Amino acid sequence: MSSSRQLPWVEKYRPKRIVDVVGNEEAKKEYIAWINSWVRGSPSRKAALLYGPPGSGKTSIVHATASEFNWELIEINASDVRSREAIFSRVYPALQTRSVYGHTGKIILIDEVDGVWTKEDVGGLDALIELINTTTYPLVLTANDPWDPKLRDLRDLCKLIEFKKIGKRDIMRVLGDICSKEGITCDRDVLSAIAENAKGDLRAAINDLQSVAMGKDTITLADLQVLGERAAQENMFEVVRIVLTSKTPEGALSVTRLPSLDYEMLIEWLNENIIAQYSPSLRAIADAYDALSLADVNLSRMKRKQMWALLPYVMELITAGVSGVREKPPFKFVKYSFPEKLRLLSRLKTKREKFIQASKRAATLLHVSTSMFRSEILPYIRLIYTYDKDYAMKILSSLGIEDENAKYVLEY
């Protein structure tokens, strides 16, 4: 196997020209018009927000722009740079220095702005807005979902361009071209299966092709067993099964390419079901929990210190780490359990919501604040309930709290 085959194919075969970006012809026309407005020196908007599902070409078209126009690409990921200080320290020095590679201009790309910004990161959002208002170079943001209320101020400053899922035929054509260039024999049925499994995500399809092609000159349908079904992202039972029963690290890692994978939820599911799947091998159980524990440590550090570069290590530990245990028992069908921790949290959340709703209704009728109702009135109702349940229930009913919600007020 040549060393070139070790390179990520999504990078090796990334388009060098805008016209080579697959699909989304209308979006490409809008994007080209916006880029040309910068070339003419009169941009209608200083920033463009490209939005759409993963693998639809949002990032690739910006890379192609930099290559085609000989512009320096200044690229940061919102997952790694969240604070005002971090954004300014990463972007502004690059804008103020001359390129050493003879580039004729610059373009800024900030990826995945919708996935990480929270109330705690408001400084980062403010810094982006300031950057948009002051930039003298094209600025491109990408997002899967731009309609989050927290992104409203960003949306107002950007030209919105929608990218849609790539069609199956286009994905198959790209995969076929890659196979030809890599000297790999691959039936059309195999390309069709990979494209179907990718569900419009070209990047995922290319990753899948590379995963099954490692060390092979011919790919058959049997080789596709290493891939996890992308539809399983809607079914955590299947995601857990893929991780715990995969025969190879690649098979377990395949779930990390699911567009909507909730890695924190996956940790809870694995924590609940490792013993059931790996019994009676104590060694396998111990190794799996060691990997899960190390992932949890890194996840806590990542959140506490905003070290988002640790996320890939967390993902590998909870997939390949948990799956690649010693003395792994033979496959057996196991009925997985919903995490008890999540079940309890859900129950508590429901109780709290019902309690708050009932308290607000009673406070309104009594013309007091909800805090006064809870601290100065409710304790007496609960005391009455211990001696005379019927009378206490009449009081609650007079306050608009019917029988079905009374228990939440009395017990919460």
Phi-psi label, residue 215: left if phi above 0, alpha if psi -120 to 50, beta otherwise: left
58 is in an annotated binding site: yes
Nearest to residue 15, comparing CAs of 56, 51, 55, 68? Answer: 68
> Which regions of 86-138 does DSSP assign to beta strands (E)?
105-111
Residue 223, helix vs strand vs coil? helix
102: left (phi over 0), alpha (psi -120 to 50) or beta: left
53 known member of a binding site: yes
| Long-range contacts of residues 351-356, Cβ cutoff 8 Å, at least 24 apart | 351/408, 351/411, 351/412, 352/412, 354/405, 354/408, 354/412, 355/408, 355/409, 355/412
Phi and psi at 73, nearest 5°, equal -95, 120
Give the list of residues 6+ apart from residue 375 with CB closer than 8 angstroms, or none. none
Q: Is 371 exposed, middle or buried (0-12, 13-18, 19+ CB in 10 A)?
A: exposed
CA–CA separation, 214 and 355 (whole Å): 56
Q: Check if the beta carbon of residue 232 is closer than 8 Å to that of residue 244.
A: no
249 marked ligand binding residue: no
Is 105 labeled as ligand-binding?
no
Tell me if 55 is assigned to a ligand binding site.
yes
Longest Cα–Cα distance in the chain: 86
Q: How far is CA 140 from CA 44, 47, 87, 176, 269, in A?
A: 14, 6, 14, 30, 37
Residue 220 assigned as binding residue? no
Strands (E) located in 170-326 = 185-186, 218-219
Residue list, annotated binding site for ATP:
52-59
Q: Extract the annotated binding site.
A: 52-59
